[in-house]
């Protein structure tokens, strides 16, 4: 099983890059596509229906009127993680609210604005429920973070 990443526009590619980087570190297979919910809705439906056969988790990346995560969630019962993107106009708050405020019944698990890395980690955590190998990788990942924090020194340079 893999993670399917769908971005609303190629302009979201930096967030996709952060997700792919983290998934690769965990050794998780992925697929990444650009499919806008409003510019290509028929293609989105076709893609999600086909992709869900091999997909454990979908990650949507969208900015502005960010309905992509909600539309994907409407088309599948696989978990959907939404990454709201920062915009030059409203700073991403609009995308955060559009993504997180799903009406009851069809959830989108929403991470922080531009939170691609956390989206990948959360996808890994979901997949690790039934995968001992992934579970161990997550524990090692946390231990490494803790070690880095312990080794971080503060030196006053004033
Ligand atoms: C959303 O609108 C995309 O996800 C992107 O974040 C934003 C701007 O898209 P472009 O106009 O750059 O294609 O649909």
Rounded to the nearest angstrom, the distance between the alpha carbon of 57 and the centre of ligand 1 is: 22
Give the model's pLDDT for residue 157.
93
pLDDT grade, residue 47 (50/70/90)? very high
Pairwise CA distance, residues 1 & 53, whole Å: 9
Kindly list the distances between the CA atom of residue 65 and the CA atoms of 8, 69, 115, in Å, as whole numbers in the listed order.
10, 11, 17
- In 30-79, beta strands by DSSP E: 30-34, 55-63
**36 in ligand 1 pocket by Cβ < 6 Å?**
yes
Where are the chain's structural domains?
2-150
What is 2-150's CATH topology? Rossmann fold (3.40.50)
Rounded to the nearest angstrom, the distance between the alpha carbon of 117 and the centre of ligand 1 is: 20
Question: pTM for the whole thing?
Answer: 0.95
pLDDT grade, residue 132 (50/70/90)? very high
**20 in ligand 1 pocket by Cβ < 6 Å?**
no
Convert the pLDDT of each residue in 87-125 to its tens digit.
999 999 999 999 999 999 999 999 999 999 999 999 999
For the CA of 39, the closest atom of ligand 1 is 14
Give the model's pLDDT for residue 107.
98
Convert the pLDDT of each residue in 50-93 to its tens digit.
999 999 999 999 999 999 999 999 999 999 999 999 999 999 99
The whole-number average pLDDT for the span 126-144 is 98
């Amino acid at each position: 099983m893999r993670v399917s990443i769908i971005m609303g526009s190629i302009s979201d590619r930096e967030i996709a890059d952060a997700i792919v980087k983290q998934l690769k570190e965990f050794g998780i297979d992925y697929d990444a596509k650009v499919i806008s919910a409003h510019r290509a809705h028929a293609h989105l439906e076709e893609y999600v229906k086909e992709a869900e056969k091999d997909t454990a988790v979908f990650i949507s990346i969208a900015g502005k009127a960010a309905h992509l995560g909600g539309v994907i969630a409407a088309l599948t019962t696989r978990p959907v993680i939404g990454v709201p993107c920062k915009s030059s106009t409203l700073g991403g708050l609009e995308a955060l609210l559009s993504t997180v405020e799903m009406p009851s019944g069809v959830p989108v698990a929403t991470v922080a604005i531009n939170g691609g890395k956390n989206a990948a980690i959360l996808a890994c955590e979901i997949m690790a429920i039934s995968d001992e190998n992934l579970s161990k990788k997550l524990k090692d990942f946390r231990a490494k973070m803790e070690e880095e924090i312990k080794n971080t020194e503060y030196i006053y340079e004033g």
